[in-house]
Structure 1
Amino acid sequence: MTMQVPPSKTHQFCLNWSPYVRLVHDYRDPHVGAPYQSPAVPDHALHYFKQGSGWYRNDGQVHAISPGLVVLVRPGTPYEFQFEPDPPPHMLNTHFDLVEMEDSHHPFPYPAVQRRIPPPAIPADPAVDGYLPSVQQLRDSLVYEQTFYRLHAVGTLPGLAYELTRKALLLELLRMLHDNQRVSPHYVTPVHREMLAASVRFMQDRLEAPLTVADIVAHVHVSRALLARCFRNAYGTSPARYLAQLRIEKAKTELTYGARPIKEIAVATGFASVQHFTRVFHRLTGMPPATFRRRHDA
């Protein structure tokens, strides 16, 4: 019996995919205690967190790092992350071009110049076929890790057979991400994404106020349970912790570039007391605010 696969827009979108794997890195000793910043990457990156805690900023959003979190960084997108000292962080990183290009073979990293031919990117618009979210919490992280280590094992081996194996395994990782966001309980529907965006905007506009989760629930007109589930699925954390991360990010900017006393910064970032601010800051950054300021002054 002969079966013919019907054409689709998604099929047309990925018809020319022939990825080139540029780097496969089992990263067991990342930066701890200080943010790692990249202004932009010239290719795609998959940053998978096998172990560790902290925060990751991508696409203007801050996400809590937890085991099984994977971040898709698109070409030209800046990112920043920071680990807490315990547990010891462990990342599995892959850099690739979605379509093999003339300069895909350039040794990693590229020089600090724009690529002559910008690489095609995985769609960032949920309305476009082939879309993948920037952040996902994996339903089956073990299978992802096993596939990564198979890719890692052939990462630098020469020859056509190994090159085809690398392409196939990278496409398998992308297939897992599509399946995960489409059918797993971690998938966030377009309607819920709009609700999440409204929630985050509401938080960002009121960082100086004593905002509560009940205030956010009332603003977006959903139940507390639904809000918590959507935040956990989309960002890997609770609304309250996400709000705390936003407050601390604002405080870090004040501490780095401003001269206001720490007590005033605590008030300006919505904390009832400098003691509460110090406790939360230390928990999320691994150091008290005064130490953070001294290090950045140096």
Structure 2
Amino acid sequence: MKTLSLHELSPFVRLCGEFQLPPGFRRDPYFIYEHEFIYVISGEAHYQIGKIVHRLAVGDLLLVPPGVLTASWNDSKLPLRFLAVHFDFHFHGNYQNLPPRSSRRITSELARVHQPPPTTPRLLLPRKVNVADEPGVKLLLERIIGEVAHKPPGHELAAKACLLELLVFLQRRDFRKQPSPKQSHQAVELATRFLESHYSRPLRLKDIATAARLSPIYLERLFKHATGRSPMAYLSQLRVGRAKHLLGRTDMTVKEVAGAVGFEAASYFTRVFQKLEGVSPMRYRRMTRGLEGVELAVSLTRSPKTGGGPHFTIPTRRS
């Protein structure tokens, strides 16, 4: 994928309007050749982008990428009303000779082969964000739709300007809400305490950010700067640390240990444990149970040979 510099950024609106999906609506997997902003005016719906499902509610703004299989459905009792703006970050031709964008037999391979060369700017844009408290976002989208629909003189420039203003807003949104250094320290502490108290539950970055009273994007940046790890990496290490205690001190099965520390699948737990500790959970248990009277020292440094996770140093017995 080509990366545009900000000097090359020149968004081009292809299609836009206000739309409505009735209750029970379901659209089969499809893909688009351009990017798309979706803003929910009323109602609810689900959008699946790739393997990730996003639940949309009033005030949510979703950015749908090109060339990724997407499905949508409305299983609520109310219709979904939304604004949609399809655009390119840089104009790269028309799409008349390309195949239809919706098909029951569509595949990721087809999407990749037939889409125009995608471009993305050097911007940090959220996939989904709620902007219900930012009425200016809806006004910008409505103005784009109005310019394209009525085509007054200079409407292309006006639509481009509105889209650029929206991109600037999304780029600056987290920075406008940056806490002070003291508040940043408190936010990291809140996130850490939340993880230590709730590690056994299914957690998403959004849950941790809510506890820290920050946006997910800014929390991840702040947490990594303070600890050297992302919140989710810290969570994995915390869970593995608790799992080591259970493996060494209880007779719980590996599956039971995995569930107790927050892993939904034992196989995934085993992969994470192996990556961080250098051995499988079962081997760790055998090693700890087989060293009666000998302390098992665990090095927190990376293996000098493999560059992998922490490794074990087993002291020799004294004769």
TM-score range, shorter chain: 0.5 to 0.7
Matched, 1:180 2:162: no
Q: 1:138 aligns with which of 123, 131, 140?
A: 131
User: CA deviation digits over 1:9-35, x for unaligned, max 9?
Assistant: x9x8211111110111101x2142143
Matched, 1:15 2:7: yes
Contact 1:42 1:110 survives alignment (8 Å): no
Question: Residues 44 and 162 from structure 1, CA distance in 2 versus in 1: closer, same or farther, beyond 3 angstroms?
Answer: same
Letter in 2 for 1:56: Y
Letter in 1 for 2:58: P
Return the alpha-carbon distance in structure 2 between the equivalents of residues 230 and 47 of structure 1: 27
**Which residue in 2 is equivalent to 1:118?**
117
Matched, 1:35 2:26: yes
Give 1 or 2: higher strand fraction: 2
Most deviating of 164-173 and 134-143: 134-143
Matched, 1:50 2:50: no
1:133-212 superposed matches below 5 A? 133-138=126-131, 140-158=133-151, 161-184=154-177
**Which residue in 1 is equivalent to 2:17?**
25
**Which residue in 2 is equivalent to 1:64?**
55
Return the alpha-carbon distance in structure 1 between the equivalents of residues 77 and 196 of structure 2: 31
Return the alpha-carbon distance in structure 1 between the equivalents of residues 78 and 211 of structure 2: 25
Contact 2:30 2:69 survives alignment (8 Å): yes
Letter in 1 for 2:8: N
TM-score, structure 1 as length reference = 0.52
Return the alpha-carbon distance in structure 2 between the equivalents of residues 134 and 231 of structure 1: 19
SS in structure 1 at match of 2:154: helix
Contact 2:23 2:74 survives alignment (8 Å): yes
**Which residue in 1 is equivalent to 2:199?**
217
Q: Which has the larger radius of gyration?
A: 2
Question: Residues 96 and 64 from structure 1, CA distance in 2 versus in 1: closer, same or farther, beyond 3 angstroms?
Answer: same
User: CA deviation digits over 1:78-116, x for unaligned, max 9?
Assistant: 222222343432111000111012226x59x96457557
User: CA deviation digits over 1:211-249, x for unaligned, max 9?
Assistant: xx9996336899x97465479966xxxxxxxxxxxxxxx
Higher relative contact order (CA 8 A, sep 6+): 1
Contact 2:27 2:73 survives alignment (8 Å): yes
- How many pairs are equivalent? 192
For structure 1, the residue ranges without an aligned partner over 5 or more in a row are 1-9, 123-128, 197-212, 235-269, 271-298
User: CA deviation digits over 1:153-186, x for unaligned, max 9?
Assistant: 111444761111111111112222222344448x
Contact 2:67 2:115 survives alignment (8 Å): no
Return the alpha-carbon distance in structure 2 between the equivalents of residues 214 and 68 of structure 1: 32
User: CA deviation digits over 1:246-267, x for unaligned, max 9?
Assistant: xxxxxxxxxxxxxxxxxxxxxx
Return the alpha-carbon distance in structure 2 between the equivalents of residues 62 and 231 of structure 1: 24
